Amino acid sequence: MLCRAVAVELEVTKGLSKLLYSVESVYLGIVREVAAYAVEHNVTSAIQLRGLFYSKYRGEYPGLHSHLVIQAIRQASEIAKSFMERRRKGLAQKPYPEVRNVSIRFDETAWNYEQFIKSIAPVRIKLSLPNGQTEVWLRLHKRFWRYWWLVLNKEAGLRKTLIVKRRANKWYAVFVFEIKPKEGIPQSVVSFDINENTVAVGRIDIETTVDKVADWNRQYLTPQLYSIRTDFGRLARRYEKIRNTIIERLKQSFTLPNGKYANVTNTREFRKRVKRLRERVRKVGRVRYVANELTKTPAIIVTEELGDNPQESMIEDVGKDELRHRIKQTPFKALEKTVEGKALERGSKLFHVSSYRNSKVCPIHFVRLERTDDWHTLKCPLGHYVDRDYASVINMDWKLTPESWTKAFWWNMKQEMDWREYEQKSNPIIPYEIVQYIHAVLKTFVARLERCPAMLAQGDPMTRHRIQNEGGGEETSHALLGQGGGQ
């Protein structure tokens, strides 16, 4: 089941705001107290904690809906559990979980769920607050209506628990929709690889390529290789510059008596100005754009297994500080998560392959590639150039095929691995016919490239703009596949 949380601002009068604040502070107090107790006494079961605390708080706060008390205790139990888990892993430094803010959970008895769900166009909710049932109007927006439409069509459900949350001085109701993943017949196999400024894509369209593959002289090269510009690195660099300018300007007004500067980045002024830059918003926008692009049609989406910290492993062999910073700014995980969510929503499936040597091996000759003085271009010992991104996405596709097990460059994998066993155990997502099809496509692709390997390079590295490491990229037009290929 796929979940989508949609926050809708509440129309709040002064009186109602006061009321909500008071509920929030009581609720927060309960969560804090119970969580601290749970950790100290090693009692994390919600039921046990309820037995210990319920009547106490009911007595203390008779105006608070009984189910809010129960929800607060439950929330405390969850917080305690995750805190203890973190502590076990050595990630928590403090003796108690620090609960700074809470979202108030109204279960179906504490708001008018039954009535709401029956409505065709709900515009307000009723919350059980200390002064009784209180009607609150919603500032509904397009996103909400989109999901509500799914509810009306029985393609989604609304979770019974409503979350009420404050951000700054505004109150929001968070509706959680549970969407049934679509079952789509895959129309293509799309592999992608995330880089600093681009996302490299290899696309095999299943229906339309059948005859194209047979016809060697056609303009098509399958998989189609292209890339989507994201400019995450460039974005990060630009904002870095703007931030530095702000710091310089603010420094003047934050000079200490001894002539030194206070740490400007801790000031309210700085935070206010940085917020206005909307860096995160723009990044999120680009992430969504890429996810949309990759999941347009139901597809089998193939990507590398990212570690917990993909940025770290990527910068291992990167020297410059500035570049390290930019790679850290590349939202690998966010992009992957968004693609995964969108994929499920639209009937695509995500398949992970190992990241082992994807961009280190020639996808035609299966020998180790050598570096050139251009980070993007690698050289095959058999005498041709290969674009790093292309190598990566084609090798990912190779890893879907039975042949991958016998290729020497994946020698760390068990060579005696039985394909049938593999098919059953680790590849339930991709039907065998499609695997065979991919295999055929790749073999044809390679046969064609063997005659004209230059198509795998993105131009002549001798004349291309040379920049060490990923610093370059500005001039890499991935649309260009050399003569005969692309488009």
| Binding-site ranges for Zn ion (CB under 5 A) | 362, 364-365, 380, 382
73/391 with CB nearer Zn ion:
391
* 24: number of Cβ within 10 Å: 18
DSSP string, 403-452: GGGG-GGGTTS-TT--HHHHHHHT-SSS-HHHHHHHHHHHHHHHHHHHH-
| Shortest distance (Å) from residue 364 CB to Zn ion | 4
Pairing of strands 299-304, 188-194: parallel
275/443 with CB nearer Zn ion:
443
Q: Are residues 349 and 2 in contact, defined by beta-carbon separation less than 8 angstroms?
A: no
| Shortest distance (Å) from residue 198 CB to Zn ion | 23
> What single DSSP character describes residue 278?
-
| Shortest distance (Å) from residue 328 CB to Zn ion | 33
312/370 with CB nearer Zn ion:
370
> What whole-number distance in Å separates Cα of residue 472 and Cα of residue 482?
20
Helix, strand, coil percentages for the chain (3-state, nearest 5): 45, 20, 35
> What whole-number distance in Å separates Cα of residue 376 and Cα of residue 40?
54
231/403 with CB nearer Zn ion:
403
339/456 with CB nearer Zn ion:
456
| Shortest distance (Å) from residue 457 CB to Zn ion | 11
Q: Are residues 434 and 298 in contact, defined by beta-carbon separation less than 8 angstroms?
A: no
> What whole-number distance in Å separates Cα of residue 338 and Cα of residue 346?
12
| Shortest distance (Å) from residue 436 CB to Zn ion | 24
| Shortest distance (Å) from residue 369 CB to Zn ion | 8
DSSP string, 63-113: TS-HHHHHHHHHHHHHHHHHHHHHHHTT---SSS-------EEE-TTTBTH
364/457 with CB nearer Zn ion:
364
| Shortest distance (Å) from residue 386 CB to Zn ion | 7
Which residues contact residue 290 at a Cβ distance below 8 angstroms, ignoring those fewer than 6 apart? 199, 228, 230, 335, 338, 339
Selection from 310, 356, 316 nearest residue 332 by Cα: 310
242/382 with CB nearer Zn ion:
382
365/376 with CB nearer Zn ion:
365
162/364 with CB nearer Zn ion:
364
221/247 with CB nearer Zn ion:
221
- Cis peptide before 223, with omega less than 30 degrees from 0? yes
User: Closest residue (Cβ) to Zn ion?
Assistant: 380
Selection from 322, 347, 333 nearest residue 185 by Cα: 347
Selection from 484, 455, 458, 487 nearest residue 217 by Cα: 484
**3 state DSSP class of 364:** coil
| Shortest distance (Å) from residue 446 CB to Zn ion | 10
| Shortest distance (Å) from residue 365 CB to Zn ion | 3
**3 state DSSP class of 88:** helix
Helices 66-88, 14-41: axis angle to 10 degrees equals 50
| Shortest distance (Å) from residue 456 CB to Zn ion | 8
